[in-house]
Structure 1
Amino acid sequence: MPTDDDLGELIVRAARSLRGRWRAVLEPWDLSPHQVRALMTAGRDDGLRLSGLAERLHIAPRSATEVVDGLAGRGLVERVPDPTDRRAVLVRLTAEGTRVRDEVAAARAADAKAALSRLPAEDRAELARLLRRFLDG
């Protein structure tokens, strides 16, 4: 039976493997994982304050500003006035940002499916159940 240390190491190795695959999937768009997480997060709402984006991404507001600056420079997000507070701005996906977000999400889903297809469906379901239980605990 594996020890807790063994299980922890397996989880870390699995995460590293998926992260490496994720970086390779992102190459055609020349985006970092941080930028994609920001695109996905900002795209869930019709505008999100920088502070809210930083909070959801669990990063410092300064880091969120840098990520948004990079995405805005590529035309993937825009800063727009907050209609509820004229002192604040919202980060919103542009049409190009929405297109890229959707393409990246589809590519990531296809890669995850390919990576996990080595496991039978029942093992994938059990792994998902165990990981959710672990994360919820």
Structure 2
Amino acid sequence: MPLSGPSGTRDSPGEPDLGDLIVRVARGLRQRGAQVVAPWDLAPHQARALRTVARHDGIRPGELAGHLRVAPRSVTDVLDALEDRGLVRRHPDPGDRRAMVLTLTASGRRLVAEVDAARRADAEALFGRLTARDRATLRRILLVLDAEEG
């Protein structure tokens, strides 16, 4: 008899449930992501921080921590490393001189563009196995699940 609780997570006793499958796929994505950013001597969390600053130019460090879902103190070391490499700058917030905002340098913008191109190519290699319709369905489902977590 198939095991299928209210969440319908398992079709038959020998199949992994949805949670296990998502964890396995997420682990593979993390490994792929680390490999993709390695040529630029970036850790995945540094690449995520750069991409977030690129999307939210002028973001405060605390807001960056919120987007990354980490404690604000965890962002400090990441920002220090990125600033030391000349990829990010901290500036006084024009609206509140006590606060700092983050911007990418020209080198940071170039690096984000290169990393994004590599990530898109890797994503196409992985998700290209799915039909366009399946990719759209997967995106829709993941957005629903992500909204419930946020």
TM score, norm. by length of structure 2: 0.83
CA RMSD of aligned residues (A): 1.7
Residue 121 of structure 1 corresponds to which residue in structure 2? 132
The CA distance in 2 between the partners of 1:34 and 1:21, in whole Å, is: 13
Deviation at 1:132, TM superposition (A): 2.5
Change (3 A) 1:9 1:105: same
| Deviation readout 1:105-126 (Å, 9 max, x if unpaired) | 1111110011111222222222
Which one of 35, 39, 42 corresponds to residue 31 of structure 1? 42
Code of the aligned partner of 2:33: W
Deviation at 1:55, TM superposition (A): 1.8
Deviation at 1:133, TM superposition (A): 3.0
Aligned pairs, number:
137
Code of the aligned partner of 1:108: R
Residue 106 of structure 2 corresponds to which residue in structure 1? 95
Structure 2 residue 56 is the aligned partner of structure 1 residue 45: yes
Deviation at 1:62, TM superposition (A): 1.2
Structure 2 residue 108 is the aligned partner of structure 1 residue 85: no
Higher helix fraction: Structure 1 or Structure 2? 1
| Deviation readout 1:47-102 (Å, 9 max, x if unpaired) | 12111111221211111111100100100001112111222221111000011011
Gapped regions of structure 2 (runs ≥ 5):
10-15
Deviation at 1:2, TM superposition (A): 6.9
The CA distance in 2 between the partners of 1:64 and 1:76, in whole Å, is: 15
Change (3 A) 1:76 1:2: farther
Whose Rg is larger?
2
List structure 1 segments (4+ residues) > 4 angstroms apart after TM superposition: none
24-33 or 124-133, larger mean C-alpha shift: 124-133
TM score, norm. by length of structure 1: 0.90
Gapped regions of structure 1 (runs ≥ 5):
none
Residue 56 of structure 1 corresponds to which residue in structure 2? 67
Which one of 21, 27, 33 corresponds to residue 22 of structure 1? 33
The CA distance in 2 between the partners of 1:88 and 1:81, in whole Å, is: 6
Higher relative contact order (CA 8 A, sep 6+): 1
Q: Percent identity?
A: 54
Describe the SS at the equivalent of 2:100. strand
